[in-house]
């Protein structure tokens, strides 16, 4: 399968995207396009392949309305076609690690004992004394990888996005019942189509020169 696209197509998509401030609430993402975007979340890379996160697609208008005042009253929360809350695990146990290893065995049809070394490495990194204090931050970093993958994929499909960090995680966790599930909200993303009157769409993209950001050693 040829999955290569021209370099210009990638850069055009990334130059086209911006943090959409005003979405057209009447325009919805087609189902096939949305399913592809959901799959980009599933296919995102993560540390050890453990996927220590959950993606909540908030469809219920009433819940979105509840979340809005805890999101600096940003209109994207209620106007975007789709709204996602990316949540990270707050703890890891042997159960989560072994469940992942069972999945590896199932998908790759290999003996579980062949993964003993991998299991030991994960146990040592994630379950050793003191590791529990690092898990929420580690899981949050993995969620951000998924966010980046989602936003780039959306741009390639002509879907607008806006990552939202301006929200009250504690309030989100309460409304969505995340604490009881062993998760905490990390970051959100609104997806849909820009409103024709969003002045930010035509603003020049501001970035430092590549010479300031990229150093070859």
pLDDT of residue 76: 98
pLDDT in tens, 68-108: 999 999 999 999 999 999 999 999 999 999 999 999 999 99
Q: What CATH number is given for 7-86+137-213 in this structure?
A: 3.40.109.10
Query: Percent of the chain beyond pLDDT 70?
Result: 100
List b or e across 75-101, with b for residues whose CB sees 16 or more CB atoms inside 10 angstroms: ebbbbbbbbbbbbbbbebeeebbeebb
Q: How many CB atoms lie within 10 A of CB 217?
A: 2
**Cβ atoms within 10 Å of 143's Cβ, excluding its own:** 26
For residues 135-161, average pLDDT: 98
- Structure confidence by residue, pLDDT tens digits, 154-174: 999 999 999 999 999 999 999
- With a CB cutoff of 8 Å and minimum separation 6, the contacts of 59 are 82
Mean pLDDT of 145-153: 98
Q: Averaged over 27-52, what is the pLDDT?
A: 98
Beta-strand relationship, 160-164 and 82-89: unpaired
Q: What is the pTM of this model?
A: 0.96
HSE-CB at 32 with a 13 A cutoff on CA atoms is 1
State yes or no: pLDDT of 118 exceeds 90: yes
Residue 195 φ/ψ, nearest 5 degrees? -80, 145
Cα–Cα dist 169/153, whole Å: 26
Spell out the SS3 assignment of the chain.
CCCCCCHHHHHHHHHHCCECCCECCCCCCCHHHHHHHHHHHHHCCCHHHCCCEEEEECCCHHHHHHHHHHCCCCCHHHHCCEEEEEEEECCCCHHHHHHHHHHHHHHHCCCHHHHHHHHHHHHHHHCCCCHHHCHHHHHHHHHHHHHHHHHHHHHHCCCEEEEECCCCHHHHHHHHCHHHHCEEEEEEEEEECECCCCHHHHCCCCCCCHHHHCCCC
Cα–Cα distance measured from residue 92 to residue 95, given in angstroms and rounded to the nearest whole number = 8
Instruction: Give CB contacts under 8 A, 24+ apart, made by 109-114.
Output: none
- Predicted local distance difference test score (pLDDT) of residue 2: 79
Place of tokens 């040592």: 124
**What average pLDDT does this structure show over 23-40?**
98
- Please give the average per-residue pLDDT across 139-151, as a whole number: 98
Kindly report the average pLDDT of the chain as a whole number: 97
Q: Tell me what pLDDT residue 63 has.
A: 98
């Amino acid at each position: 399968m040829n999955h290569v696209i021209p370099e210009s197509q990638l850069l055009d998509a990334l130059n086209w995207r911006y943090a959409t401030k005003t979405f057209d609430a009447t325009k919805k993402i087609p189902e096939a396009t949305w399913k592809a975007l959901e799959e980009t979340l599933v296919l995102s890379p993560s540390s050890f392949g453990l996927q220590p996160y959950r993606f909540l697609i908030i469809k219920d208008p009433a819940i979105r309305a509840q979340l809005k005042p805890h999101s600096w009253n940003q209109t994207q929360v209620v106007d975007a076609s789709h709204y996602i809350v990316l949540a990270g695990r707050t703890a890891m146990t042997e159960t989560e690690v072994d469940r992942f290893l069972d999945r590896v065995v199932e998908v790759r049809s290999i003996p579980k004992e062949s993964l003993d070394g991998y299991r030991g490495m994960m146990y040592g990194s994630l379950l050793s004394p003191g590791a529990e204090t690092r898990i929420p931050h580690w899981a949050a970093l993995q969620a951000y990888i998924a966010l980046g993958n989602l936003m780039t994929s959306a741009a390639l499909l002509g879907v607008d996005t806006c990552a939202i960090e301006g929200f009250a995680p504690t309030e989100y966790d309460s409304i969505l019942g995340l604490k009881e599930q062993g998760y905490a909200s990390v970051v959100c993303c609104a997806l849909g189509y820009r409103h024709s009157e969003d002045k930010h769409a035509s603003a020049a993209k501001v970035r430092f020169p590549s010479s300031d950001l990229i150093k070859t050693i």
